[in-house]
Amino acid sequence: MAHEFNNISLIGKFRSTDGAETVLDLASYLRERGIKARIEHGTASAIGEAAQGFDTVTYEEIAREADLAVVVGGDGSLLNAARRMGARAVPLVGVNLGRLGFLTDLPRARARQQLGEILDGRYRSESRFMFDAEVMRDGECIFHTLALNDVVVNRGNLGQMIEFELRVDGEFVYTLLSDGMIVATPTGSTAYALSANGPILHPGVSGIALVPLCPHALSARPVTLPDTSCIEIVLMPPHDARIHFDGAAYCDGRAGDRLRIVRSPLEVRLLHPEGYSYFAMLREKLHWSASMSRF
């Protein structure tokens, strides 16, 4: 197990020097262990001269050649890396520089120690499923991408609600007037969907959460569907909308466009430190069992 990871790539926050010291420290640590360490090209460019002592690599090369990718940043950085390398399930380890860090669970102060434990074979591995999403217009696909967290249809810059039709596996569910809809994986259930009063789905649950955004109907409630479902959202005239994928990529939808979401056959493999607990993570991040004096 100690020799499972021989080619490791380090990825930092997009166009940011935040975490540069941690990236360089981990690169040096990997080199000390005799492991080939390379820094993602954009990360190296942001760091500057200090990164010149290490080889650089593109996302395409990481997906093709790396045994492990270490993402130094927040959950957004890890989501971006997962989407860009979705065609090959390169294992991902996240070092948390953000505020919450539901996915990036190695604290910066212990990153070297815990990465060493993972390299020694002391880790937990889990797979998270992704969405395959496409936007159809007049029978043609105008946008196609993957999403690990969620796909969100919202009103964009409009000052009014939008109306859309929801279908599941071809069956009409309802027409809804609202600010939009969140379609979330279990991974994304602790992201935007959580703030919109959606359910928390354990990663082991094969489900999809549908969470209406500010619906103009008190009866419109979050619904959990099987992950085998095909979800379609059709924008009703005269409303346009913006469609977001993991809060990064987006597509400007027009009235009549059809958003189609299914589970992708591709999965993301996350490596956690030994002793990782999903419920302990939720307890820490969401302040469960915290004394009321803290609030």
How far apart are alpha carbons 246 and 224 in whole angstroms?
Answer: 19
- Mode of pairing for the β-strands spanning 223-226 and 123-137: unpaired
CB distance 267 to 147 below 8 Å? no
How far apart are alpha carbons 255 and 156 in whole angstroms?
Answer: 13
Report how far Cα 268 is from the mean position of its chain's Cα atoms: 9
DSSP letter for 4, please.
S
Amino acid at 68: L
Q: What is the SS3 assignment for 134-186?
A: EEEECCEEEEEEEECCEEEEECCCCCCCEEEEEEECCEEEEEEEECEEEEECC
- Based on the residue annotation, tell me whether 179 is a catalytic residue of this protein: no
257 CB-contact burial (10 Å; exposed 0-12 / middle 13-18 / buried 19+): buried
Task: Say which of 55, 75, 150, 246 is annotated catalytic.
Answer: 75
Catalytic (active-site) positions: 75
